[in-house]
Structure 1
Amino acid sequence: MASLRILLASALACCWLQTTAADTYPVFILAGQSNMEGKADNALLEHQASDPPTAELFAHWRQDGKWIERDDVSIKFLNRQGPLTIGYGSPNKTGLELEFGYAVGEHYQQPVLLIKTAWGGHSLYQKFRPPSAGLPSDEALEKELAQAQQRVRNNNEKRNRNDPLPTMEEIKAEYGVSYRNMMQEVDSTLKNADTLFPALKGKTPEIAGFVWFQGFNDMFGDDAPGEYAQNMKLLIQDVRKAWNKPNLPVVIGALGQNGSAEPSERMKQVQDAQLSMNDVPEFAGNVKTIRTDVLVDKKAEELIDGWQDHVEEWKKVGSDRAYHYYGSPIWYGRIGKALAAEMLKMQQEQ
C-alpha cells in the first residue's frame, strides 16, 4: 500500500510538472550596445546562404530558397516584434539573436521569447550603470560637466550658435538611463505579451536567462575600464534582484574585435574584467563569460585590410568595420551559438 501511495504521488507530481511547464514559456533578455543590436547585413546573409561554400552554414534557416520564420521563437527588439528570422538587428541587419534563438528554440518544447534591449555606443560605466553602483565621485562628475560645457562653448563659437550649457542634473541623468530603459522594455513586453505574441496568449512568462554583449565604449574614459569588473558584478546582482531570480543564468560575450591579433591594452583590460566573472565565487555555475575573438571569421579578417581595393571580394564576407565584427554573419552566428550552448549547459546543471 505504501508503495502504491508513493507511485501515485510520483505520478501526480510528474503530471503537475508537465502542466506547469506547458503553461509557461522561457524568456531570454539579450542586452548590450551596437554589437548586440547586430551588424551583419541582410544582403550578405542572402549571398552566403545561397553560395555553395557557405550555404550549409545557413541551411537550417532556409526552406525552398527562402528564410524561415520560427513560430516557436518570438522576438521583441524595441519597436519590432514577431517570429524569429533575419532582420532583427540594426536596420536591414542581423545579429547573434538568430543562432542563439535557433539553439534555445530547438532545446525547449515550450515556445520561447527573446527580448533584445540594445543601444549603440552605451557604456556600462555610464548609461547601463546599475543602480547599486551609485553615481561616480563628485570630482569625476565635475570634470565631466566641465568637459561637456567646453564642447558646447566650442561648438557655439564654431557655428555661431547659442546653445545652453549642460547642467549637473543633465549629466547625472545619463547615468543608468539604459539600465532603466532595459528594465522598462522587459516589463512592458511581458505585460503586453498576450497582445504582441498571440501564440503566447494565456501562458506565463518565466525569465530564464540574461545575455550580455557589450564593452567597446568602456575602453574609453579615465575610469570606465578600471571599474568594469565591479560594475558588471553589480549589474548581474541588480537584474537578478529586480526579476527575483537569485541564480538567473547569465552568459557574457567578452570583447573580441581583436580577432586573431593581440588586443590593445584598453581592450584587454575590459576583456579581463569580463572574463573575471568566471572566478567570482557566488557566480560559480550560474555566470559564464566566453571569448569571442577565438570565433573570428578568418576569411573576413584576411580581406578587411585594403578592402577598397577588392570590394567585390570583400562584399562576399563582410559588411562593416572591425569594431562591428566585420559585419560577418559567420562570426555573429558563432557567437550566438556559443552563448546559447553555455546558457543551456548552465540551465541543465541547475
Structure 2
Amino acid sequence: MLKTKHFQPRGGTLFLLLSLAVAVHTLAKVPSVLPRPDAAPPSNGKVKVYILAGQSNMVGFGYLKGSRPVYPSIFLSADPKVRVGRMPVGPSALLRHGVYQTAGKDSPVGARAAIYRGAYNAATDYGAVKPEMETTVPLGSVDARLPSIEGPHTVVATAFIDVPMSGMHEIHAGFGESTHAVVSLEGREVYRREVGKDAVITPVALEEGRRYEVTITYLRGGSAAFWLKHIDLKGQGDLATLNQQGKYTWFADDEGKWTVRNDVTYWETRISKDEGGSGGPLTTTSNGRFMGPEVPFGYVMGTYHDEPVLLIESSMGNRALSFDFRPPSSGKNEEERANEYCGLEYDLMVKGVRGALQNIGRIVPGYKGQGFDIAGFVWFQGHKDKNVPKEVYEKHLANLIKDLRKEFKTPEMPAVVATVGFGGKEMDPGHLMTWEAQMAVGDAEQYPEFAGNVASVDTRGFWRSRGESPTNTGYHYNHNAETYILTGDALGRAMVELQGGKAEKLTVEERRTRHPDVETIFSDAVTGNFNKRGPHHGPDYYRAMGRALEPIIMEEMIPGFVEAAFAPNSRGSLKGIVSGRKPARIPVDIRSDLDVLMEYYDIAGIRDYEWKPFGPKMHSADWSYYSFDPPEKQDPEKSDRFREITFPEGMEEWFVPVFDPVKAGWKVGQAPFGRMGDKLDRRRPSCNGTHCGCSEIPATLWEKEVLLMRQTFEVPKVREGHAYRLILGGAGCDRSGEGFAIYVNGRLVTTVAKGFFRYSGIRGAYLYDDILPEFKGGKVTIAVINFLRYTHFRNKTTYFGPHPDYYGKPVPPNGHVSMWMEEAKLSPAILNAARKSEQAGAKTSR
C-alpha cells in the first residue's frame, strides 16, 4: 500500500487505530504517477518476495542515457521528383518541404522572380527598384533554370517555405554557379556565398505548420535548386531523455540523479559472477548500464507495500520455455532426458531462489528475522520460442506456474505474465503464436483455476519503433527504456490487483501525430527494426529521382564525407588508399570509404570514378593449381581454418616466380575453382555479394582442403591518380569463404584467417606502395592459398543456407574462388583533400 508514517498508539486507541489501518490497507491505491522514494525505512513486517524470470529482456536492455539520433541530419527538397525515405547513401533521411508563391493556404507552388538590369550590387536595395521583368520560377526544381535576360542582370526570387518537422535548419540555395547567392528569411540573412568564397550559413529554427518568407538574391544564374538540412537532432528513447520530457520522474531526482528504493532489494542469481548472486537496494542501475522491467515493477511494489520487498531474479538470454525453462510436469522424451540443458534454467531458478531465501538475513538490509512471504511470480520471455505452436508453449507456461507453486508450497501464488511485444500490432506470425499462448493463461474462461491469481499483460502497445528508440535491435525492443518501463509498471499494477489492492492505470501521454512524411521516415518500414544497414530501397528507386539529389550530394555530402575521411584523427580507409600507406591492420571485408564515395557519385549520376576491370581476364583464366590435405588436421567443427601447415615436399616456396609448377606435378585448370559437397556445384542458387559470384558453376573442382593456385600474367603499368585492388571472388556472400593469402611476385600482399559469418562483403586486398612497384608493366606472378569451409555459423556444422540439397544437414565441404584486378580513377575532390592533408601534415611536423 502507499507508505504512511508510523507512530506508537496509546492505551485504548490501539484497537481503533488497528481497525483504521485495515481499512486504509483495503482502500489504498498505487497512483498513476508514482511518488519518488524517500529515505523512510519499511515496516518490520514479513519480507514480500517476488520471483522474476525470463530471457534477456527480463534482465533488461533499456538505455538509461546517451542515445543517438536515428539520423544525424535530414535533407529536405522541394524538387517534385524527390521521394521520401532514407538517403541512398550515408546515414541521413530525405523529406519534402514546401515552396509557395504566397503565404495563402491555396497558393500555387514555386516562387515569384524579378529580374533587374545590371550585375549584382550589394549596395542596391532591389525592393525599391523597378524590375526589368517579373515571372515565376519552380524554385527547388534542380532541372529548372533561373529566368534571365540579355546582358548583365540580377535575379531576386521571393517565396514562402514550410517544413514538416520543427527544429534547426540550414538553408541552401542553388547548384553550381547559382550557389552564389544571398538568402534572407523573414528579413534575416541565413545564407551568403560570394564569388570565390565559401558559403556562410546561419542555422535557423523553423516550426512545422508555419510558412516563412524567403528572399534569394542570385549573384550568378543557373539551376533553381533550393534545399534545406535539418540539423541538431536528438536521440530518443533513453530514460534520461524521457525524464527531460517530464515522463517517469520517480526514477530520478530534480538534479537528474537516479533515485534509490531503500525498501526494495534486487537480487540477481543467474548471471551474477558472485556465488549465490549479487544485488542491493533497487535503482535504475541495478542491472548495470541498462534497465529492465525489474526496476518499474519494484517501484510499484515498493509503493504498494509497507513491508520490505525482495526481488529475486533468475533470467538468462537466448533461453526457451519449451526447452531451457521446461517445467518438470511437462515431461521429457528420452533424448531430452539425456540432454543436461533441457530444463536446466528451471532448476537453476529454483536453486537461486532457495539460496537467496536461505541468506535473506544478509541480503535484505535491516532484516530482523521477521520471516518472508513468497508474494508472486513474474514472467517475461518468448523470443526464443518463436514458431513454437501455441498449444505447446501454453502447456509449458501453465505447468511452469503450477510447478513453482508446488515447489514453494504456495498454491495460490499470484503470477503475472508479460507477453512478447515485438513489432507491436504488426507482430510476426511466429511471435503471435507465443503471444496468444501467453494471453490465454490469464484468461479465466480458459483457465478457471487461474481466475483471480494469474494475469496476462499485453505489451504490444508498448512497442516503440526504431525511429523513436536508441537502436534498431528489435529483439531487445530497440533498447527503448519506455518499453521496459511500461512493461514492468504494468506487471506491478497487475500484481497489486491480484493481491486485492487498487492500482490506477499509468497514463501515458499520447504521441503527437506527426506529418505523414515524418511518420514515414521514422517508421519501422524505413528505419528497419531488424535491419542493420543500407537504405530501404534499391539504387533504381533513387535513380528515378534524376538530378533531384545532385545538389545535396555534390555540394554537401561528398565534401563533408571527404573532409571527414582526411581529418587528422580519421580512422577511415580512404587516406591510406590514396596516400599508398598500408594500414597496420587489414580487415576481413575490404569494402572501404572509397566504395562508399563511389555510391555517392553513382546516385548523382557520375560514373567516372567507379571500379573498372584492369589487366587480363584472370577470373576465367587458366591457372596452375595443386590441392591437398595437410598433415596438421583441424576439427571440421572449428572455423577460421587458415593455419600454419606443412607443404608437400618441394613446394615450400610455391608462390615465388621461379617455382616451376609443371615439375612439381601441378595441374592446370580454368577458374573459377570450387565445390559444394563432393561435386562441381555452385555454393548458392543466387549470390548476395557484390563481388562474389559463388552462384556461378565452377569450371574446375576444388579437390581437397587446401587449394594452391598461381599464374603469371601480362599486366599494364599502374597509373598515378588511381587506386588498385585484387578481388578474391567466390567468398563475398554471407557465411562464405575461409582463410586465404595472396602473393605478388613472391611478396605477401595479405593474409586473412577467416571467412564471413555475418553480412556479405568484399574479399581481397588493396595495393599499396609496398606492392604497387611490382606493377610497372609486364609479367606479374600472382599466387593464392585457400582453405575449404566446413561450418555455416561460426563453429556450427549444421547447414541453414539457401542451397536446397543441404538445408538442415551437416555442412558439406564447400568453396569457390576466382580472382581479378580492378582500377578506379580518384576524383578531384579526393586528390585535393589528399594534397591539403599532406600539406597540413608537413606543417605540423616542422
TM bin, normalised by shorter chain, reads: 0.7 to 0.9
The match for 1:124 is 321
Q: Which amino acid aligns with 2:301?
A: V
SS in 1 for 2:456: strand
Q: Deviations over 1:81-128 (max 9, x none)?
A: 100011233x52110111111111011111111111100011111110
Q: Percent identity?
A: 31
Residues in 1 aligned to 2:250 and 2:434: alpha-carbon distance in whole angstroms: 35
- 1:298-337 alignment runs, 5 A limit: 301=465, 303=467, 317-319=469-471, 321-337=473-489
Residues in 1 aligned to 2:309 and 2:279: alpha-carbon distance in whole angstroms: 13
Q: Deviations over 1:37-68 (max 9, x none)?
A: 10112334898555477442232122232112
Q: Does 1:255 align with 2:420?
A: yes
Which one has more relative contact order, counting CA pairs under 8 Å at least 6 apart? 1
Question: Is the CA contact (8 Å cut-off) linking 2:239 and 2:481 kept in structure 1?
Answer: no
1:230 aligns with one of 387, 390, 395: 395
The match for 1:134 is 331
Q: Which amino acid aligns with 1:336?
A: G
Question: Is the CA contact (8 Å cut-off) linking 1:285 and 1:346 kept in structure 2?
Answer: yes
The match for 2:309 is 112
Residues in 2 aligned to 1:39 and 1:66: alpha-carbon distance in whole angstroms: 20
- 1:147-296 alignment runs, 5 A limit: 169=338, 171=339, 173-220=340-387, 225-261=390-426, 263-277=427-441, 278=443, 279-296=446-463
Question: Is the CA contact (8 Å cut-off) linking 2:64 and 2:240 kept in structure 1?
Answer: no
1:32 aligns with one of 50, 54, 58: 54
- 1:7-156 alignment runs, 5 A limit: 11=15, 22-44=44-66, 48-51=238-241, 54-63=244-253, 64-78=255-269, 79=272, 80-89=278-287, 91-136=288-333, 138=334, 141=335
Gaps of 5+ in 2: 1-11, 23-42, 68-234, 273-277, 503-846
Question: Is the CA contact (8 Å cut-off) linking 1:77 and 1:88 kept in structure 2?
Answer: no
SS in 2 for 1:66: coil
Tell me how large the CA RMSD over aligned residues is: 2.8
Residues in 1 aligned to 2:66 and 2:314: alpha-carbon distance in whole angstroms: 24
Residues in 2 aligned to 1:349 and 1:282: alpha-carbon distance in whole angstroms: 20
Residues in 2 aligned to 1:268 and 1:50: alpha-carbon distance in whole angstroms: 32
Residues in 2 aligned to 1:254 and 1:50: alpha-carbon distance in whole angstroms: 26
Question: Is the CA contact (8 Å cut-off) linking 1:49 and 1:59 kept in structure 2?
Answer: no
Shift of 1:23: 3.0
Q: Which amino acid aligns with 1:332?
A: Y
SS in 2 for 1:233: helix
| Greater fraction of residues in strand | 2
Question: Is the CA contact (8 Å cut-off) linking 2:53 and 2:314 kept in structure 1?
Answer: yes
Residues in 1 aligned to 2:440 and 2:365: alpha-carbon distance in whole angstroms: 41
Question: Is the CA contact (8 Å cut-off) linking 2:379 and 2:417 kept in structure 1?
Answer: yes
Residues in 1 aligned to 2:401 and 2:256: alpha-carbon distance in whole angstroms: 41
Question: Is the CA contact (8 Å cut-off) linking 2:49 and 2:372 kept in structure 1?
Answer: yes
Residues in 1 aligned to 2:279 and 2:240: alpha-carbon distance in whole angstroms: 26
SS in 1 for 2:326: coil
User: Aligned pair count?
Assistant: 290
Gaps of 5+ in 1: 1-7, 145-167, 304-313
SS in 1 for 2:50: strand
Question: Is the CA contact (8 Å cut-off) linking 1:41 and 1:93 kept in structure 2?
Answer: yes
Q: Which amino acid aligns with 1:275?
A: M
Q: TM-score, normalised by structure 1?
A: 0.76
Question: Is the CA contact (8 Å cut-off) linking 1:34 and 1:121 kept in structure 2?
Answer: yes
Residues in 1 aligned to 2:49 and 2:298: alpha-carbon distance in whole angstroms: 11
Shift of 1:302: 5.1
Q: Which amino acid aligns with 2:52?
A: L
Q: Which amino acid aligns with 1:76?
A: W
The match for 1:156 is none
Q: Deviations over 1:304-324 (max 9, x none)?
A: xxxxxxxxxx6xx32461111
| Structure 1 runs of 4+ with >3 Å offset | 44-55, 223-226
Q: Deviations over 1:156-197 (max 9, x none)?
A: xxxxxxxxxxxx73x2x1111000000011011111011122
